[in-house]
Structure 1
Amino acid sequence: TVVEWGDDVKAVSEDEAMVLVNHQATGDVCTLMMCLQDKGTVVRQMMWLMDHIFKYTNFGIVSLIHGDFFIRQGRAHRDQQLVLLKEHLEKYYRSRNRKWIVLFPEGGFLRKRRETSQAFAKKNNLPFLKHVTLPRLGATQVILKTLVAPQENGNPAGRDAVIKESKSKGLQWVIDTTIAYSKGEPIDIQTWILGYRQPTVTHVHYRIFPVKDVPAEPEALTNWLYQRFIEKEDLLTHFYETG
C-alpha cells in the first residue's frame, strides 16, 4: 500500500515538471509508478533518468524502447554522461511528447552513498544526513538548462534549441518527492515482484515549486538542492521517530 501526502500533483499533471526523488532501492521506481497511475496521462508522457543497472532489470528493455535515459555513475563517467543526457533530451524529450522527467539527484542508493556523502559534508561544513545523501548538481542543471523556457528562471533567451523547436512552455514545476518506507526498510524490485515480505505501507510526500523560483546559477542551485534534501532528512527523521 502507498499513501500520498503533501501537494496535489494531479493538479499539475498536464504541465511539464521535473520530479526529484530520494533514492533508497530499486523498488523506488515501482513505488512511483504505482503513485502516478492515476495522475492523468503522466505515466505515458514521462521520461526516467535511472542508474544503468536498471537496464538489466525486468523492465529494462521496456525503458529503452520508451526512451528513458540510463546514466553511469562515477567521476570517470560524469562529464561524458551529462553531454549524452543533453543530447538525449534534445533528441527525444519533445519529439516523444514527454511532460514529466524523473531523476534521483543523489546519484545512487542511500546505503551505497551515505558514508561518502557524510565525509563530504564534514569536510565542507555541511549538515550531517542519515536518511538521505547530499544531491549532485549535474543532471538537474542539464535538465533545467535544456528544458526550461528562456527567462523562466533566469535562462538567457534563445539558448534552448529544444524549446525553440516546439510550442511547449517548457518546464513549469519542480516536484520534490520523498519516499518513506516503514521502519526505514526499503523495498527492492524482487520484493515487489515476488511479494516475500509482509504487507507494508509506504509513504510518499510531494512538494511543488514553480520553476521560476528555482535558481539557475550553479552555486545558488546547489544550495537550493541541498535545502530540499535537508528538508527530506527532517521529514524522514520525524516519520521514523513517530511512524
Structure 2
Amino acid sequence: MVLSVLVHLNSLKSAVPAAFMLGLAPQYFTGIVGWRAVSAVFPERWFRVVDDRIWGTFQRVVEFFFESLTGTEIILYGDYDALEAKENVIYLCNHQSTMDWIVVDMMAIRAGCLGRCRFILKDGLKYFPLFGYYFNLHGGIYVKRGRNFDESNKQRIMRRLSNFREKKLPIWMIVYPEGTRFKPKEPGLLLASRQFAENQGLPVLHQVLSPRYKATYLMVQGLKGHAQAIYDVTIAYSGDLFRMPDGTILRETAPSMGDFLSGKCKQVHIHLRRIPMDGIPDDENEFQRWLHGVFQDKDKMLLDFYSASPEKQGRLHGEGHSSPLSIMSTLPAFLFSCGLMVPVFGTTLGRQYYWRTWIAGSLLCCFWMKFVTR
C-alpha cells in the first residue's frame, strides 16, 4: 500500500508540472494573437518586442519546473563566457532527447536571450494544437525532411531568413542537424547513420548520428551578415551514464522530460564552442565535410564522457564550472502564470472560454498552418 502511494506521488512530480505548462496554452495563445491583431497598425518591430517578452515569460515558467524546482546542476564547459555577448547566433546541437529543447532555455536564460530563441522544426509539428501556430508566429521554421526537402522548401526557408535579416530580428536560430534523436538501443538507426557516412566517404560516428547538412547550410547562408557566430553545443546527461559491475559504461537512452521532472537526472553537462561566421565554408560540399567534422569533435567528446577511464568519465572537454540559477529568474514568471489561471478556472465564463479556445483554436490553427502558411 505504502509503495503504491509512493509510486503515485512520484508520477505526480512530472504529471503536475506538465499539466500546468500545457494548461497555460490558451492564455498565452490569446495574449499573442490579441497582440498580433492590435499591433497590425504599428511597425512590425513593436510586435516582435512584445512577442519576445511573451515567449520569454512562458519559457521562464518552463525553467522554473525543469531547473529551479528539480535542483538539477548545470555544468558549463568551453566558451561559455560568450553568453555574455547577447549576439545573434545559430545554435547547433547534438540531439538525443526531448530535453534538448529545455537545455536551449537553460543556455538562453543565462545569456539574457530567452525571447530570441527560434527553432528549426520538423514539418509535422506545425499541427501541434495551438503551439504549432505560435512556433511559426514567433519565427520558427518548419522543414520537410529527406526526399521532401525540395526546391520549394528551400526557397520558403530562404525567404523567411531574408526577412529576419532585413528586419534585423534578434535571433538564436536553433537547429539539430542529426534530424532525429540518437537512441543507443535502436541499432537500425545507428546502422543507417554509419552507412550514410561510409557512402559519403566520411568518418563513421559512434555517439552521435551523421549530420544532415542541407537545412544547416541554408541557415548559415541565409543569416550571414546578421548572425555573428555559430554556438556549437554538445550535451551529455548524467541520467544516461550507466556503470556495469565490471566498471565499463553502458550508455542508456537519454532522460525524457518526464524522467527529468522526476529527478532522474542530477546533472546536465553542456559544452559550448563559439565559431565565428567568417570561418565557415561557403561551398556546399566543403560545408558538408566541415559540419561532419564538427560532429566528429562531438563524437570524441562523448566517447570520453562514456569511457571507463576515471580521468575522462562523466565530464566533457575542458574545465567544468557549475552554473546555478537564481530562483528570482523564474519565480516571478511562475507566479504571474498562476495568476492567469485564476480568472480562467475560477469562473464559469472563464472555463467555457478555456475549452472553446482549445477546441476551436486548435482546429483553426491546423487549418491556417495547412492552407494559409506555406
Task: Give the TM-score of the pair, scaled to structure 2.
Answer: 0.54
SS of 1:216's equivalent in the other structure is: coil
In structure 1, runs of 5+ residues without a counterpart are 150-169
Matched, 1:189 2:250: no
Question: Which residue in 1 is equivalent to 2:117?
Answer: 46
* Superposition pairs of residues 29-68 of structure 1, within 5 angstroms: 29-40=101-112, 42-55=113-126, 56=128, 59-68=131-140
Call closer, same or farther: CA 1:26–1:127 in 2, change over 3 Å: same
What is the identity percentage for the equivalent residue pairs of Structure 1 and Structure 2?
26
Question: Which residue in 2 is equivalent to 1:17?
Answer: 89
Aligned length: 219
Residue 125 of structure 1, CA deviation = 3.7
SS of 2:255's equivalent in the other structure is: coil
State the distance in 2 between where 1:21 and 1:216 align. Answer: 20
Question: Which residue in 1 is equivalent to 2:283?
Answer: 217
Residue 94 of structure 1, CA deviation = 4.9
Matched, 1:143 2:219: yes
Question: Which residue in 1 is equivalent to 2:235?
Answer: 179
In structure 2, runs of 5+ residues without a counterpart are 1-71, 242-250, 308-312, 315-374
Partners of 1:82 and 1:138 within 8 A in 2 = no
Residue 106 of structure 1, CA deviation = 1.3
Aligned equivalent of 1:232, options 298, 309, 319: 298
Question: 1:186 is matched by which residue type in structure 2?
Answer: A
Question: Which residue in 1 is equivalent to 2:194?
Answer: 118
Structure 1 or 2: more helix by fraction: 2
Task: Give the TM-score of the pair, scaled to structure 1.
Answer: 0.80
State the distance in 2 between where 1:139 and 1:217 align. Answer: 14
Call closer, same or farther: CA 1:77–1:224 in 2, change over 3 Å: closer
SS of 1:180's equivalent in the other structure is: strand
Which region of structure 1 is more displaced relative to structure 2, 117-126 or 128-137?
117-126
Call closer, same or farther: CA 1:236–1:53 in 2, change over 3 Å: farther
Call closer, same or farther: CA 1:77–1:179 in 2, change over 3 Å: same
State the distance in 2 between where 1:83 and 1:190 align. Answer: 37
Residue 215 of structure 1, CA deviation = 1.0
Residue 36 of structure 1, CA deviation = 1.5
Question: 2:280 is matched by which residue type in structure 1?
Answer: V
Please give the per-residue CA displacement for 1:97-156, whole angstroms capped at 9, x wherever unaligned: 23221111112212374321111123344222121112122112212222212xxxxxxx
Call closer, same or farther: CA 1:16–1:27 in 2, change over 3 Å: same
Runs of 4+ off more than 3 Å: 52-55, 57-62, 77-80, 91-96, 189-192
Please give the per-residue CA displacement for 1:163-194, whole angstroms capped at 9, x wherever unaligned: xxxxxxx22111111111221432333445xx
Question: Which residue in 2 is equivalent to 1:74?
Answer: 146
Residue 86 of structure 1, CA deviation = 1.2
